[in-house]
Amino acid sequence: MTDDFAFTIKTLRFDEDYTPADSTRLTTNFANLARGESRQENLRGALRMIESRFNALATWDNAEGDRYGVELDIVSVDLAIGADGPAFPAIEMLKTTILDRRTGARHDGIVGNNFSSYVRDYDFSVRIPEHNKGRAGFSVPEDFGDLHGQLFRSFLASDAYAAEFRKLPVICLSVSHNKVYRRTANRHPVLGAEYLPNETSLTEQYFGKMGMKVRYFLPEGSAAPLAFYHVGDLLNDYTNLELIGTIATMETFQRIYRPEIYNANAAAGETFAPSLENPDYSLTRIVYDREERSRLAIEQGQFARDHLIEPHRAGLAEWSARQAA
């Protein structure tokens, strides 16, 4: 199967006129906002929040706070298995482009925002529940995340990725609501104060199989730290503007999706225990359907099982083992 194993990249502008494609994971944050009666108001509000947050962090030579614009493109990655088989929607994420209105220059941002994957949905929403059905305690399969990790590593090493992107991705996620984070003395001029968790998480282990490490930072003016998953040197491989683009984008989506943590009325202190039960937070004016997100994650996991995992189980297992070796 590996002779006919290839990635294809497509891009679509994410703006106020965006409509989700049929193959888009509908649990993806940007797709969730683009449905319903408030879709265009949602999109305008989210994009406005991203640009405002970007300018609030890029303060140098920006006295009016309006120097920069942020453009977002949806990057969809299809996986082709077999010469005649249909392409499977493997990965979807956002890429930022920064417009300097003063000079007219356009700067590439970082790809990886809002990373999503049907295979990850399968692992977390289908495979784990099936594995733990009837068990007394929680556990994960021994090879949990192996296939997804090898698919992601293969994508980063592909000609398709090299032709489209100059730098490796940074995937920014929320902190875990069942961990405790403590502030360290380390501080970055853009990322802010670094935090360390009291223990590792299943998400950290899962992304570790993708070849990614994680560091937690609280940017200036943020309510809670963000988790930055990266492959190389997070603090030195990217420019300030690139990092600000990632922060502005993902903090905006987290403020909409998890306001109890990221739109809290009190910022994280020296010790921080995020909670989805926190009553002291403000709502944005953007409509987000969290119940639908949870339901669709199961449906999308089942889609991955039926259209990728089961039809190609033996070949994928053989390929993944060979990649690991």
**pLDDT tens-digit profile, the chain (325 residues):** 444 578 999 998 988 888 776 555 444 556 667 666 777 888 889 999 999 999 999 999 999 999 999 999 999 999 988 666 678 888 999 999 999 999 999 999 999 998 989 899 999 999 999 999 989 889 999 999 999 999 999 999 999 999 999 999 999 999 998 999 999 999 999 999 999 999 999 999 999 999 999 999 999 999 999 999 999 999 999 999 999 999 999 999 999 889 999 999 999 999 999 999 999 999 988 876 655 556 677 888 898 999 899 998 888 888 888 887 7
Closest CA to 122 of 98, 142, 147: 147
Placement of tokens 């265009």 in the chain: 40
Distances, alpha carbon 151 to alpha carbons 158, 162, 181, 294, in Å: 10, 16, 31, 24
Q: What residue spans of 167-285 are helical by DSSP H?
A: 202-208, 240-257, 259-262
Closest CA to 130 of 144, 117, 116: 144
The alpha-carbon radius of gyration of the chain (Å, integer) is 20
Query: With contact defined as beta carbons under 8 Å apart, do 5 and 81 qualify?
Result: yes
Strand residue runs (E) in 167-243: 170-174, 181-188, 192-197, 213-218, 226-230
DSSP 278: -
